[in-house]
Amino acid sequence: MDSEQTPDDSSRIARLLLAAGLGAAALWSLRKGKRLRGALAGAGAVALGYSATGDDGAVTDPLAEEFEFDDSVGSDDAAVEDAGAGLRCAACGEPIVVGQIRVPNPDDETVHESCLEATA
pLDDT in tens, 96-115: 888 888 888 888 888 888 88
Total structural domains within the chain: 2
pLDDT digits (tens, 9 = 90+) for 10-67: 888 888 999 999 999 999 999 999 999 999 999 999 998 888 887 655 555 666 666 6
Residue 103 lies in a domain: yes
Contact 91, 116 (CB under 8 A): yes
Q: Which residues pair with 111 in a beta bridge?
A: 103
CA nearest 57: which of 110, 112, 15? 15
How far apart CA 1 and CA 11 sit, in angstroms, is 21
At residue 32, what is the residue type?
Answer: K
Residue-number span of the structural domain to which 14 is assigned: 7-66
100 belongs to a structural domain? yes
Out of 23, 45, 66, a domain closes at 66
Point out the domain boundary residue: 24, 42, 66: 66
Query: Taking CA 72 as the corner, what is the angle to CA 69 and CA 77, rounded to the nearest 5 degrees?
Result: 115
Query: 7-32 and 35-53 helices cross at what angle (nearest 10)?
Result: 160
